[in-house]
Amino acid sequence: MVGESRREILGTSMITRKSQLTMPKKARDKFKFKEGDLVIFVEENGKLYLAKGTEY
């Protein structure tokens, strides 16, 4: 259907004492993240999204 969105959970992560996150392997592999890639945190309508720096 046109306009239908699909949602898939690619994993979970907990924030460490130093406020760090580990990106789940399934998400890294699916979106081809590698060491040194820029990750952008985007807020839209009260929701948080992650994007690769080159795709924002």
Structure-token pair, residue 40:
């952008």
Closest alpha carbon to 26 in 35, 36, 13:
13
How confident is the model at residue 8, as a pLDDT?
A: 93
Q: Interior CA angle at 10 toward 8 and 14, to 5°?
A: 130
How confident is the model at residue 6, as a pLDDT?
A: 86
The CATH number fitting domain 1-56, selected from 3.30.565.10, 2.10.260.10, 2.20.130.10, 1.10.3720.10:
2.10.260.10
Residue-wise pLDDT for 1-56, tens only, equals 677 888 899 999 999 999 999 999 999 999 999 999 999 999 999 999 999 987 55
